Chain A
Amino acid sequence: MLRVTDLTVCFDGVPALDGANLTVADGSVHALMGPSGSGKSTMLRVIAGLERPDAGEVAWNGASVLAVPAHERGFGLMFQDYALFPHRSVAGNVAFGLRMQGLGGAAAEQRVAELLDLVGLPGYEDRSIGTLSGGEQQRVALARTLAPRPRLVLLDEPIGALDRSLRERLLDEMREIFTKVDATALYVTHDRDEAFAIADRIAVIKDGKIVADDDPIGLWHRPPSAWVARFIGLENLFPSAALDQVGLAHPSPAHTSGIVPPESIVLTPTGDRTATVAAVHFRGGTYRVELDIGAGQPLVAWSPTAPSPGSTVRFSIAADRIIWFTA
């Protein structure tokens, strides 16, 4: 188990990490998500041992690893641009960590073959790095990282450079591989879909601080702040005052904003509210309906049928499902 406590790193006096806390449980994939400049890559490098923190603690199974040099931590790091060794073949790259452990010969060869099999590149041993496509390089980098059986796998935006369809396929494959080898992993990304697709748990980092840490479903349904809700892309975030105007009173004066989850809205002739349909978009199987409720921004609802724009519709809101925020 990895435990990071109050981690602080400053660059030229500017904090890149500002008291960040995080725990990664054994056998789980933990995503670390944040906008660029939020400190997520720095955090990864500190955990890896490539950067020294100004304050705080990084511990593995309760023992501090700060004094352990990077090459002895037993953590694997997969780089954003893969950092494959251009002067070595695919096998030379994958076997590198094994050689560092003193493993050579047939045992290493077998392990390399096993790993290449695992990432779907059997028989690629003698290929040179320059001849690989982006997706193949990504797989080789993953195989190289996993070969020495690191106790923790760190991944720095490992598929950020690839195109969308390839990313989706690789995400699925990586997910499968992590399960197969029972990896404990910390996966840095700025992409919400990526984090939700691969992680057992998602931490959100903002300005060097962890501002949310939950499983994907919990994060989606109970974001801890309006900023997190907006960052993960939740819709229908309104100031409390606007919701007040349409009769959705906030339970406490401390609540400054709230989200009306689209799934809490039902378009039905028996609804107790009315609104003008501002826009209707077809979204494969269902319609995204924007309702003008006079709150300064449209209220988004999902509907199996398409009301005509400009018409008046009746609907109801399950008010108890509104998520209120104090910040």
Chain B
Amino acid sequence: MMTAPARTGSRAGIALAAVVPVAFLGYFFIYPLVAILATGLVEEGRFATSAFTQLITDPAMRSIAWFTLWQATLSTVLTLAAGLPAAYVFARFRFPGRAVLRSLTLIPFVLPTIVVGVAFLALLGPGSPIGVDLRGTIWAILLAHVFYNTAVVIRGVGAFWEQIDPRLEDAARSLGASRWATLREVTLPILRPAILSSAALVFLFSFTSFGVILVLGDLRHTTLEVEIWRQATAFFRLDLAAALAVLQLAGVTTILVVYARIRRRLTTELRLRPVGEITRRPQTRGERGLVAATLFGLALLIAVPIGVLVARSLTTADGFGVDAYVNLVDPPRNSAIFVSPAEAIANSLSYAVPAVLIASAVGLLASTVVVGSRGRLSRALDTAIMLPLGTSAVTIGFGFLVALDAPFDLRASFLLIPIAHALVAIPFVVRSAIPVMESVQRRLREAATMLGATPLRAWREVDLPLVARALLVGAVFAFAISLGEFGATSFIVRPDTTTIPIAIFRLLGRPGTFSEAMAMAVVLMAVTAVAAITIESLRGSRSGGV
């Protein structure tokens, strides 16, 4: 409730536990960021702003920055337009299959961005079944962003909407407010922080979007993120890439600050918990129509790109067949497939295992510190550990590239890619573990204590079994993230360390291997879907108020 004297004894232990995450973040996150800054600002040992000057004066660069901003804005608006009705329908109405459908809406969000890119290329690119070719246009990018981010709005706003007592709306109606006035005067003002915070997240994801824009923009449309990658890996302009990365970081930081401010308002907001069941069957014709139309639209948005991807991966010159999949395992001689896809799968798996172990270990220690101490260290670590989530993956990869040659040259190390993946995954591990550790644990630990358990015994009997499950969720997250990670990997990958997403990208770049790229994307999608279902079921089967 207030103070916890029992904890003071383990202060030394907490400090010890803090060493690992602090050192990890310091060396693999902060240090590379500083190195990027130095690359942009130091030239031949002297302070120089030439890279930044070029950034500001070059009209091409200015238009890239401008495009990054407005495509993110437009993506956010369109995603809200698609997601808000769905959030409403799921929060307020009961219909057959509601729970399953709600889980399904999460699929696009857990798909690796490269898979999303390939799916929309299959749908809207060359050879499109609907007879268009939108490759290299803004439309394909926007649609893919809406596809990818709608779940953020459905989950973020929907979860909050479910907490609003519908009787507030009934009260407004009984006081003479029309439907529209109720929406304007009651519902939307209450929902506003939830809408804004979801919008900030969607904006962030669209702002730092990499895989989708690289695949669908066809380098005719590039964002800051893609341009950092292009300047660094294609033109070897590290200084310009660094300047772009600094600009990108400034943008991301601004978004995160705004987001954090909205979140604070969201959590301090009066909690209006509804009593009893709040969902109901749609009653009027209008309601039934709204529910049906929304669900149909959602199904279309989710199923069509995925369906077309699967169908086209199974299409051969003469009908249907699994040729593309066979070619993955056993590439034909003299074919253009120069990466062995089987090798890429083996590589991905061999990186995923250490990535999961690193992310789980560092994440568990960091969560223990955050939950166990209430000091400044804990708050700082809580914020710092989330930063890689906001920072773009490309920036992380770029930072590794410019920083990790000294004092230890890790660029040739087998662990380099797993470490990058772990860095991206740790926020998910921590976010799965902390709420479980924090909310119920203390009460339950006290209950165990009052029943005669020693502190160590209470930890083993109560903390461990409960956190184990959350840790498992975090580990599966880390596994899925590692398999799908594209942005950071694209910087530090070497020809002999190709991962599945990199292999997909290379297959896309070769003439005549589009089918194989799609087949590989389907394989990656299937693995990710299994991971996502595992996460959902692990969470769902958790009983009680955890």
A residues apposed to B, CB below 8 Å: 11, 16, 41-42, 45, 48-52, 69-72, 74-77, 79, 81, 83-87, 96-97, 100-101, 128-131, 144-145, 148
Contact = CB atoms under 8 A, between A and B. Distances in A.
A75 to B, nearest CB: 7
Contacts of A69: 449
Contacts of B3: 11, 51
B1 A41 contact: yes
Given A72-B452, A85-B448, 6 more contacts: A48-B450, A70-B449, A79-B446, A86-B542, A100-B448, A100-B451
A29 B451 CA distance: 20
B449 A71 contact: yes
B545 A77 contact: no
Contacts of B450: 48, 50, 70-71, 75-77, 145
B445 to A, nearest CB: 9
B63 interface: no
A163 to B, nearest CB: 11
Nearest to A87: B465
18 contacts: A48-B450, A50-B446, A69-B449, A70-B6, A70-B449, A71-B452, A77-B446, A77-B447, A81-B443, A83-B447, A85-B444, A86-B543, A86-B546, A97-B451, A97-B452, A100-B451, A101-B452, A130-B543
B447 A85 contact: yes
A52 B5 contact: yes
A83 B453 contact: no
A232 to B, nearest CB: 26
Q: Which of B448, B450, B457, B543 is most buried by chain A, counting CB atoms within 10 A of its CB?
A: B450
A97 B462 CA distance: 13
Contacts of A129: 543-544
Given A77-B446, A81-B443, A86-B466, A96 B451 contact: yes
B181 to A, nearest CB: 35
A84 B461 CA distance: 13
Nearest to A130: B543
B410 interface: no
Interface in B461-481: 461-462, 465-466, 469
The 10 closest A-B pairs by CB, nearest first: A86-B544, A130-B543, A97-B451, A100-B452, A83-B447, A77-B450, A83-B443, A52-B5, A71-B449, A70-B449
Contacts of A128: 543
A6 B451 CA distance: 27
B175 interface: no
Interface of B: 1-3, 5-6, 440, 443-444, 446-455, 457-458, 461-462, 465-466, 469, 542-546
A11 B3 CA distance: 8
Nearest to B461: A96
A72 B455 CA distance: 11
Contact of B447 (A16, A79, A87, A101): A79
B5 A51 contact: yes
B452 A84 contact: no
B452 A87 contact: no
A326 to B, nearest CB: 35
Contacts of A75: 450
A242 B156 CA distance: 60
Given A11-B3, A86-B542, A148 B443 contact: no
A72 B449 CA distance: 8
Nearest to B546: A86
B448 A96 contact: yes
B439 to A, nearest CB: 11
A79 B443 contact: yes
A80 B477 CA distance: 35
A50 B440 CA distance: 16
A148 B446 CA distance: 16
B1 A45 contact: yes
B277 to A, nearest CB: 15
A69 B3 CA distance: 16
Given A11-B2, A100-B453, A128-B543, A85 B462 contact: yes
B462 A50 contact: no
Contact of B444 (A11, A72, A83): A83
Contacts of A16: 2
Given A50-B6, A130-B544, A86 B452 contact: no
A160 B101 CA distance: 37
A52 B8 CA distance: 12
